Structure 1
Amino acid sequence: MSVLADGGSHEGQLVLADGQLVAVFAWVTPEETVGGLERAGGWFLEAGFGPCSGLLSTTPPVLATLDDAVTWVRGRLDNGLIPS
């Protein structure tokens, strides 16, 4: 699903758990900056809900693969509201 972020369209992925939206990841390139920091390309946590809330993290993750993103979400769900 396309995500309109930072003035442009990005490839996006919705992550559901038990039928509920818990995270939205958007693909960012190495040339793009996230939070003013240059990073490698990957899946950026555009929005998180519940235990995946970006409000719990000062630096939302950029994960190399979708498998890494799913692992990150599962960890957050398994651990509840633990700040990263």
Structure 2
Amino acid sequence: MPEITLQPISVMTDGGGHEGHLVLAAGHLVAVLSRVTAEETLGEREQIEGWFLEAGFGPCGPLMSVTPPVFTDLDQALAWIRTRLEAGLDPS
């Protein structure tokens, strides 16, 4: 499994700047996550605060769902990314 690293970055979304992370696997960008509040997810899905998948690339890109996931914490997001990497192309 490639090393996964997070690079903090501000992500400009509809509600303004949000705390975010670039997710790199073996130095390749595989996802962009941004922090969302429960109010921001209201009406779109179950109301949940956490980390929204703003963009996914490679194995994290083609989602089977119309609505990208919101993860309750970064550990959950990274577990999902690892699962996608294991099932798809290894970016190393």
Both structures adopt the same fold (TM-score exceeding 0.5): yes
2:40 alignment partner AA? E
The answer for the alignment partner of 1:13 in structure 2 is 21
Q: Which AA in structure 1 matches 2:70?
A: V
Contact 1:25 1:47 in 2 (8 A): yes
Matched residue, 2:68: 60
Output the aligned Cα RMSD: 1.9
User: Normalising by the residue count of structure 2, what TM-score does the alignment of the two structures yield?
Assistant: 0.78
1:22 maps to 2:30: yes
Please list every run of 5 or more consecutive structure 2 residues that lacks an aligned counterpart in the other structure: 1-8
CA distance in structure 2 between the partners assigned to 1:60 and 1:24 by the alignment: 12
Contact 2:41 2:48 in 1 (8 A): no
Measured after TM superposition, the shift of residue 36 of structure 1 is 2.8
Name the aligned partner's letter for residue 11 of structure 1: E
Say which SS state the counterpart of residue 37 (structure 1) adopts: coil
Equivalent residues of 1:35, 1:59 under 8 A apart: no
Return the letter of the residue paired with 1:18. A
CA 1:35–1:72 in 2, change beyond 3 Å: closer, same or farther?
farther
Further displaced range: 51-60 or 68-77: 51-60
* Structure 2 residue corresponding to 1:79, chosen from 54, 76, 87: 87
- Provide the rounded CA distance (Å) in 1 between the counterparts of 2:63 and 2:86: 18
Q: What is the identity, as a one-letter code, of the residue corresponding to 1:42? A: G
Q: Return the structure number with greater relative CO, CA threshold 8 A, min gap 6.
A: 2
